[in-house]
A and B are shown apart, each in its own frame.
Chain A
C-alpha cells in the first residue's frame, strides 16, 4: 500500500533554532517528492520538489534532502522564525496526477 509517514507529529521550538522534519515513504512508482507548507486556514504552498536524481534542494532557509534508496526525506529549517509556524506536508508524486500525502508535522515556533 502506498504510504507517506511523517515524524514527529508535532514540534515546538524556540525562535532562532533549527529543526528537522522526517518523511518516510513506500510509494511506487515514484516520480518526485514535494514538501509543502500549510498555514492555518490556507491551502498548502510548495517549498521544494525533488526528482529521483536529486538528493538536496534548498529554498531560502528550507533545505530538503532525499535518499531514494532508503525512501526517506527530510526538511531542515534553519534559524526558525515565528512565521514558520505551520504544518509541513510531505507528498510523493506517483505518476502524472497521483499524489500521496503525509499527515504532516505541525510546527510551532515560540518567541
Chain B
C-alpha cells in the first residue's frame, strides 16, 4: 500500500520568505509526527498530532513554526520568515495507536534550504 508521502521533496527559499511543507500519512493512521533532521544531529521532535486531541507543540523551536492537520489526515508544517538555521530535512511519520509498540512509518522528507 501507499506509504507516507511528503511534498515538496526539495525546497530552496530566500531568507524571510514563508514555506509550507506537506505530509500525507498512511490512510487510517491516527498519529502524525513532524521531526527536523539537521546535519550531524539526531531527529528533533517538532509536533505530534493524535486524532482529535490537541497537538503536542512542545518541540516547535519558535513561534515562526506552526502546523495543522486537517480532517485527521493531511498535515502542513508552516515556517514563517525563514532563517538560514531553518535549513534541514523535515521528516513526517505516522502510526496507528493500537497494538503497542506502535510502528512509526516515515516519509522521505523535505529538504529545506534557506539562502
Contacts and interface: CB of A to CB of B under 8 A. Distances in A.
A82 B48 CA distance: 35
A interface, how many residues as a size bin?
20 to 34
B42 A102 contact: yes
Contacts, number: 47
Contacts of A45: 106
B interface, how many residues as a size bin?
20 to 34
Interface stretch (A11-19, A36-44, A64-72, A73-81): A36-44
A4 interface: yes
A107 to B, nearest CB: 16
Nearest to A49: B101
B90 to A, nearest CB: 11
A51 interface: yes
A32 B100 CA distance: 10
Contacts of B45: 98-99
Contact of B101 (A31, A100, A102): A31
Given A97-B31, A99-B45, A103-B41, A43 B93 contact: yes
A46 B103 contact: yes
A63 B98 CA distance: 26
A89 interface: yes
A45 to B, nearest CB: 7
Interface string B102-115: 01101111000000
B65 interface: no
15 contacts: A41-B108, A42-B108, A43-B93, A44-B43, A44-B91, A45-B106, A49-B101, A51-B101, A89-B42, A97-B48, A98-B45, A100-B42, A101-B35, A101-B43, A103-B40
Given A96-B97, A97-B50, 20 more contacts: A32-B101, A42-B109, A43-B106, A43-B108, A43-B109, A44-B43, A44-B91, A44-B106, A46-B104, A49-B103, A51-B101, A93-B101, A97-B33, A97-B56, A99-B33, A99-B43, A100-B42, A101-B44, A103-B40, A103-B42
